[in-house]
Amino acid sequence: MIRTLLRVLGHEYAVPMRRTVVLMVLTAVAEGLLYALLVPLLRALLGGTPADARPWLIAFAVAVAGYALLRYRSDLAGMRVGTTMLRGMYHRLGRHLARLPIAWFTGARVGEVSSMAGRGLLAAMGVAAHLMAPFVAACVTPLTIVVVITVVDWRLGLTALVAAPLVVAVHVVTARSAAAADTAHAGRADEAAARVVEFVQAQPVLRAGGRDGFEPLDRALREVERASRRRTLSVLPGAVGLAVTVQFVFTAVLALGVALAVGGGPHRTGAAAAGSDGLVTAAELLVILVLAARAADPLLSLSDIGGKLRAARGEWDRLDRLLRTAPLPEPANPVRPARHDLEFDAVTSRDGDRIVLDGVSLTVPQGRRLAVVGPSGAGKSTLLRLQARFADVDGGAIRVGGADVRDMDPADLTARIAIVFQDVYLFDATIEENVRLGRPTATDEEVRAAATAARLDEVVDRLPDGWLTIVGEGGTLLSGGERQRVSIARALLKDAPIVLLDEVTSALDPDNEAAVHAGIDRLMSGRTVIMVAHRMRTVRRADRVVFLDGGRITEQGTPDELLRLGGRYAAFSGE
Amino acid sequence: MTIGQLLRPHVTGFVIVAALQVAGALAGLAPLLAVAEVGRVLLAPGPVEGGHLATVVFLGAAGLLLRLLLTAASAGLGHLLDGRVQLTLRRELAAALGRAPLGWLDHRRTGELAKVVGDDVTAVHPFIAHAPGELTAAFAVPLVSLIYLLTVDWRLTLITLVPVVAAIALVPLLMTSGRTREQKAFDAALGRIADTSVEYVRGIAVVKAFGGADHAHRRFLTAADDFVDIFTRWVRGVSAVAAGMQLALSAPFVLLAVLTGGTALITSGHLAPPDLLAFLLLGLGLTAPVAALGHGFDDLQAAGRAVGRIRDVLAVEPLPEPAHPVVPDGDRLEWRGVRFAYDGREVLRGVDLTVEPGTITALTGPSGSGKSTLVRLLPRFFDPDAGSILLGGVDLRDIGGRELHRRISFVFQDVRLLRTSVADNISLAVPEADRDAVIRAAKLAHIHDRILELPRGYDTVLGEEAELSGGEAQRIALARALAARTPILVLDEATAFADPQTDRAVRRTLATLRDRTVLVIAHRPETLAGADTVVTLRDGVIVR
């Protein structure tokens, strides 16, 4: 358990974490040893010599003070490590997400990541801050007490010790079945969260569809309930088993102790001789029973703590799995190409079983423009994504300036490419911040200049708060054409030598259409361009055109050549 | 429905859970009392009566067993009840979201709403599964112990209570006015993390395209750092006090109090030595109520805030449904003097428009002219601020929601496909449609061939087994609208498809739907040419 935790945390937190655990163990041992002083103290009080109790009482008080100091420090250390850890984990999560291939980010991940970032990390942190100390105490203190009992009377001590392997066994068995149930439950909860997001975002469609309920969401919610019921049932035997074990052993100690004490004769008081005849004095028995009660209490709380620990553990495991998802491999010695010629060399790409690109080869010399045309689903967008290394090819290679993109530093590759997506995603921030994403270090003048070139300034003038207007989640405050302008401004600001353009398919109103075309013209000039084009007006600005169908290039040439060819492209262009 | 109403059917369950828990906890006192009794018998002068001792030990063991059975039953029932209540709450929340005006949903972030349905309902867990039983037990058991101990020796009882009083004295330090403020900040910060992580995942392509590895997730990390800062400040405020409380309530401290008092009383002859045992064993239990309060307090507070957010969502008023729905006569659409403002900006400024049945009407105009709003008033995403919209001579507000949707279907600009099978996506509005009807609609929308290429054809789950391109998604949405076979079809910039060939084919399809009324927002000259009427909108009024 601790190992998973340390791995999730990363090395920098391992040392303070270990130190904190050691402090907790020391505190728990101290508590157990503390009770050893009860033996002489109670022997005196119950055995009829209360005057002898005073020095032991003072010793006990001193020991309690020492324990208090340790406990206080260990509690605070737990909290401190917890919050430091929390920050570290957020940063690790954020960094790692940025390095995962885009293909990983399917719709279902939205719920998974958001619940992990909220509840998940907090639960993982809570372990260190709140649960670790009670857990350590519940394991270590009873064990120490049993050792103390054994010193007083080995028979009763050994009887109590029987509990140890039983408790461990019950714990291990429960943990295994409960872990499976927990994982299942967490999976269901994620699914439900993703369905809620979908349900809310799809409200317009669902309402227009005239439906009240949404069966997938309801099914997901029912599954959550079923999973939680299964989890309860899987945990219950463990909790009962633990209680049975502890209580059985406690009863055994009680019965055996009474038998041993009574066996000593018809009239023995605490003042009577010690067990030289193998018997226990009444005072000793009572001390042991008090100690046994002290050991039983924390053990019984173990199933409760164990349950909470398991819940947190499920979260670490999920986090651990995410952190261990392989990012796209990065080269040890990155190549930095001097030029920006683009090349696809027999590139194959699959989406599950379906072949999206099937041995595509093409070249774009530096400073030239290539248009990719074809029916929807032909693999056009995939081509752009592979060029930007959102995913790696399944066969063949993609090169920039002669260097395989897999041999380049990802940050270097990204820095050389500006992309205009078809579906523009805007962050729920000001319109200015969304443009500035293109180059965070840009000056205000540069941001304004890029916006003007994309004719975004007209849009900004119309907005209630101008540049400071918050565009809403996903940019819902802007129309499709306006979002497109933001995207172009972003790319212009980035000023990268390679431009990848995925032209918007839906028709724009004439005003937006003109603005977008003007912006794209500015963006393409003097750069190496691959564009997925839907409008003939855009296609004609390319030096070369490839017609993509079913993942293969079926025609290629200059726009005029292809028109003269009278093939698919000519039919497609409708001329 | 309020939360109280939702919980009412489960009240009996709660009472049973609590009763079992309390009975179990009381039975748990038996072994402790048995030990005290054993002590009294053994330490008493005179011969030990073996039979009496055996009975005492037996009773103690029986008490343990009883406690075990009762608490297990209570915990199991409590959790099952919890699951059921959570399902009820979540379903009701989903229903509330499904009824909420779209204007209301627009102002909220989906991450936050998902958190209400998910985490907030989970946070209610301690209220349901633990609080009723554990809190009652935490007070009932110490009360019984206290009464018993008072009968044994009232002086030592008071001394035993010293640590409890010390802990209670610390409680006010935990509940300052600043704490409430910090709590709110904490919740808000946690909400921001949920939002930014949703953004992060959904906007990952942008993050990838523009991020150096460090800048990309700046927003996420800023939200995370803010949260950790607030959390650290929060924890720092409490942790010293909380640790002090824990310490005061810990077993060593209570034992120290009992032993100090006990030694004094025994030496001075005020207490019989065997009576000390009862205090050593039962005295520790007296801290339970305060410990339970301190321990569960944060959870309960968090649950309280979660309940507040759940209540807010449940309380959202849906658009009013007519008390006596009127069935429209025919399918003529009329806008009469319609005005509508969005966030204080007047988008429609008096629109009068009539769309005759069986015609194609194209709506055009620059962006921001109000075209989309005009169309979105039809499914009552919002109601007009002034004027009215009539369908078959009846105001939309007097037509039941069901009837309205039986007559009009829509293809919106931002197509959202659901993560279900292709067939379910197409038959969304007509769940009873058979496979043939679905295929017919898909063919009309020119997406049938593409669907057959998917891994499992019409049974392919979108978003899991296959991702569709933007143009393909639009055509699925069109198929969905066609499958609904409503007399009126509204298309918002949806006729422009990925490739010109399909676009032409789809336009031909629309032209053949002569029995239907088609209202289309369009810009392409080809579409405008194919329309019977072209309406141009500018700045919220019809100019032509």
Same domain, A251 and A180: yes
Block residue for tokens 């995939």:
A382
Q: Which pLDDT score is estimated for A211?
A: 63
- Residues from chain A contacting residue B492 (CB–CB below 8 Å): none
In a domain, B324, yes or no: no
* Pairwise CA distance, residues A321 & A186, whole Å: 14
Q: What residues of chain A, 389 to 418, have a C-beta less than 8 Å from chain B?
A: 390, 410-411, 414-415, 417-418
Same domain, B344 and B313: no
* Residues 6+ positions from A452 with CB-CB distance below 8 Å: none
Asked which of A264, A298, A324 is the last residue of a domain, the reply is A324
3-state DSSP helix/strand/coil % of chain B, to nearest 5: 65, 10, 25
Who among B47, B406, B450 is closest to A267 (CB)? B47
Split into its structural domains, chain A has a count of: 2
Who among B110, B343, B402 is closest to A197 (CB)? B110
Task: Please give the backbone phi and psi of residue A549, each rounded to the nearest 5 degrees, phi first.
Answer: -145, 125
Number of A/B CB contacts below 8 angstroms equals: 482
Q: Which pLDDT score is estimated for B438?
A: 93
Same domain, B495 and B405: yes
Q: Is the dihedral of CA B341, B342, B345, B347 positive or negative?
A: negative
Would the CB atoms of A204 and B219 count as touching at under 8 Å? no
If one counts every other C-beta atom within 10 angstroms of the C-beta of residue A46, the result is 29
B111 part of contact set with chain A, CB < 8 Å: yes
Q: Is the dihedral of CA A368, A373, A379, A381 positive or negative?
A: positive
Question: What three-state secondary structure class fits B269?
Answer: coil
Would the CB atoms of B76 and A481 count as touching at under 8 Å? no
Q: What residues of chain A, 350 to 389, have a C-beta less than 8 Å from chain B?
A: 351-354, 374-377, 381, 388
Q: Is the dihedral of CA B521, B524, B525, B529 positive or negative?
A: negative
**pLDDT bucket at B211, cuts 50 / 70 / 90:** low
Task: Give the residues across from A362 on adjacent strands.
Answer: A344
Kindly state the helix (H) or strand (E) to which residue A468 belongs, with its residue range. Answer: none
Q: Which pLDDT score is estimated for A527?
A: 92
CATH code (residue A108): 1.20.1560.10
Same domain, A275 and A158: yes
Average pLDDT, stretch B356-378?
84
In a domain, A30, yes or no: yes
Kindly state the helix (H) or strand (E) to which residue B486 belongs, with its residue range. Answer: none
| Closest-approach residue (CA) in chain A for B251 | A294
The full DSSP string for B93-122 is HHHHHHHS-HHHHHTS-HHHHHHIIIIIHH
Mutate to test the interface with A, among B259, B309, B527, B528 (most CBs of A within 10 A): B259
* Pairwise CA distance, residues B117 & A114, whole Å: 13
Same domain, A145 and A282: yes
* Pairwise CA distance, residues A573 & B133, whole Å: 74
- Residues from chain B contacting residue A178 (CB–CB below 8 Å): none
Same domain, A275 and A353: no
Split into its structural domains, chain B has a count of: 3
Same domain, A349 and A306: no
**pLDDT bucket at B423, cuts 50 / 70 / 90:** very high
Same domain, B503 and B377: yes
Would the CB atoms of B418 and A202 count as touching at under 8 Å? yes
Q: What's the pTM?
A: 0.70
Q: Which pLDDT score is estimated for A366?
A: 94
Would the CB atoms of B208 and A109 count as touching at under 8 Å? no
Same domain, B166 and B146: no
- Evaluate whether A497 touches A340 at the Cβ level (below 8 Å): yes
**Which domain does B413 fall in, by range?**
333-421+484-542
If one counts every other C-beta atom within 10 angstroms of the C-beta of residue A266, the result is 10
In a domain, A549, yes or no: yes
Structure tokens at B539: 């700045």
* Pairwise CA distance, residues B247 & A60, whole Å: 16
In a domain, B430, yes or no: no
Q: Which pLDDT score is estimated for A575?
A: 47
Same domain, A268 and A360: no
| Closest-approach residue (CA) in chain A for B218 | A94
Residue-wise pLDDT tens digits, B316-345: 887 777 888 888 888 899 999 999 987 677
Q: Which pLDDT score is estimated for A397?
A: 94
Instruction: Share the mean pLDDT of chain B.
Output: 82
- Residues from chain B contacting residue A115 (CB–CB below 8 Å): 118-119
Q: Which pLDDT score is estimated for A545?
A: 93
Would the CB atoms of B235 and A83 count as touching at under 8 Å? yes
B420 part of contact set with chain A, CB < 8 Å: yes
- Evaluate whether B412 touches B477 at the Cβ level (below 8 Å): yes
B123 part of contact set with chain A, CB < 8 Å: no
- Residues from chain B contacting residue A211 (CB–CB below 8 Å): 428-429, 431
**Which domain does A479 fall in, by range?**
342-573
* Pairwise CA distance, residues B383 & B321, whole Å: 12
* Range with lowest mean pLDDT among A59-63, A137-141, B378-382, B440-444: B378-382
In a domain, A395, yes or no: yes
Structure tokens at A279: 């018997």
CA distances from B483 to A220, A502, B424 (A): 26, 31, 11
Task: Please give the backbone phi and psi of residue B488, each rounded to the nearest 5 degrees, phi first.
Answer: -115, 135
- Evaluate whether B284 touches B251 at the Cβ level (below 8 Å): yes
CATH code (residue A539): 3.40.50.300
Q: Which pLDDT score is estimated for A553?
A: 92
CATH code (residue B387): 3.40.50.300
CA distances from B21 to A137, B450, B490 (A): 25, 61, 60
Asked which of A260, A290, A324 is the last residue of a domain, the reply is A324
In a domain, B433, yes or no: no
In a domain, A480, yes or no: yes
Block residue for tokens 């033996």:
A39
Same domain, A351 and A279: no
**pLDDT bucket at B314, cuts 50 / 70 / 90:** confident
Q: Which pLDDT score is estimated for B334?
A: 92
B496 part of contact set with chain A, CB < 8 Å: yes
- Evaluate whether B436 touches B451 at the Cβ level (below 8 Å): no
Structure tokens at A318: 């999920």
Structure tokens at A456: 């975004």
* Pairwise CA distance, residues B97 & B93, whole Å: 6
Q: Which pLDDT score is estimated for B387?
A: 92
Same domain, B168 and B251: yes
Would the CB atoms of B208 and A415 count as touching at under 8 Å? no
- Evaluate whether A543 touches A368 at the Cβ level (below 8 Å): yes
A304 part of contact set with chain B, CB < 8 Å: no
- Evaluate whether A320 touches A92 at the Cβ level (below 8 Å): no
Same domain, B140 and B184: no
- Angle, CA A453 vertex, CA A447 and CA A456 arms, to 5°: 75
Would the CB atoms of A217 and B364 count as touching at under 8 Å? no
| Closest-approach residue (CA) in chain B for A374 | B499
Q: Which pLDDT score is estimated for B414?
A: 67
Would the CB atoms of A94 and B221 count as touching at under 8 Å? yes
Q: What residues of chain B, 137 to 196, have a C-beta less than 8 Å from chain A?
A: 190, 193-196
Would the CB atoms of B259 and A41 count as touching at under 8 Å? yes
Same domain, B29 and B125: yes
Task: Please give the backbone phi and psi of residue A139, each rounded to the nearest 5 degrees, phi first.
Answer: -90, -45
Task: Please give the backbone phi and psi of residue B446, each rounded to the nearest 5 degrees, phi first.
Answer: 55, 45
Same domain, A130 and A59: yes
- Evaluate whether A121 touches A97 at the Cβ level (below 8 Å): no
Would the CB atoms of B405 and A208 count as touching at under 8 Å? yes
* Range with lowest mean pLDDT among A201-210, B228-237, B377-386: A201-210
> Tens-digit pLDDT profile for chain A (575 aa)?
667 767 776 777 778 888 888 999 999 999 999 998 988 898 888 887 888 888 999 999 999 999 999 998 888 888 888 888 888 888 888 888 877 877 777 666 777 787 788 777 887 777 767 788 888 888 899 899 989 888 888 888 888 888 888 888 887 888 788 878 888 888 888 888 888 888 887 776 677 665 667 788 889 999 999 998 888 888 888 888 888 888 888 888 888 888 887 765 444 443 333 444 556 778 888 888 888 888 888 887 877 787 777 777 777 788 888 888 888 788 889 999 999 999 999 999 987 777 889 999 999 999 999 999 887 778 888 898 899 888 889 999 999 999 999 999 888 888 899 888 777 777 777 888 888 888 888 899 999 999 998 888 888 887 878 888 888 766 667 877 788 888 889 889 988 999 999 877 666 777 777 888 888 888 888 899 999 987 788 888 899 999 998 889 999 999 888 888 888 888 777 64
Q: At what angle do helices A444-453 and A480-494 cross, to 10 degrees?
A: 130
Same domain, A320 and A347: no
In a domain, A331, yes or no: no
Same domain, B348 and B232: no
Who among A198, A254, A534 is closest to B419 (CB)? A198
Q: Which pLDDT score is estimated for B389?
A: 93
In a domain, A74, yes or no: yes
Would the CB atoms of A57 and B204 count as touching at under 8 Å? no
User: CB-hemisphere CA count at 13 Å for B79?
Assistant: 17
Closest CA to A380 of A533, A245, A496: A533
Same domain, B134 and B217: no
Please report the ipTM that was assigned to this predicted complex.
0.73
Would the CB atoms of A50 and B115 count as touching at under 8 Å? no
In a domain, A332, yes or no: no
Give the single-character DSSP code of A12: G
* Residues 6+ positions from B315 with CB-CB distance below 8 Å: B2
Average pLDDT, stretch B391-417?
82
pLDDT above 50 (res B308): yes
The total number of residues shown for chain B amounts to 544
| Closest-approach residue (CA) in chain A for B48 | A266
Same domain, B131 and B111: yes
Structure tokens at B372: 């989309």
Asked which of A324, A350, A369 is the last residue of a domain, the reply is A324
Same domain, B160 and B146: no
Same domain, A431 and A285: no
β B333-342/A498-502 pair status: unpaired
User: CB-hemisphere CA count at 13 Å for A244?
Assistant: 12
Who among B247, B379, B500 is closest to A72 (CB)? B247
In a domain, B513, yes or no: yes
CA distances from A128 to A10, A309, B225 (A): 15, 10, 19
Mutate to test the interface with B, among A71, A244, A376 (most CBs of B within 10 A): A376
A32 part of contact set with chain B, CB < 8 Å: no
Same domain, B56 and B131: yes
- Angle, CA A231 vertex, CA A230 and CA A235 arms, to 5°: 120
Would the CB atoms of B231 and A86 count as touching at under 8 Å? yes
Residue-wise pLDDT tens digits, B12-50: 888 898 889 889 888 888 888 888 888 888 887 777 777
Same domain, A295 and A360: no
Block residue for tokens 């019409």:
B458
Return the biggest CA–CA distance within chain A.
121
In a domain, B36, yes or no: yes
In a domain, B466, yes or no: no
Same domain, A148 and A51: yes
- Residues from chain B contacting residue A563 (CB–CB below 8 Å): none
Would the CB atoms of A217 and B94 count as touching at under 8 Å? yes
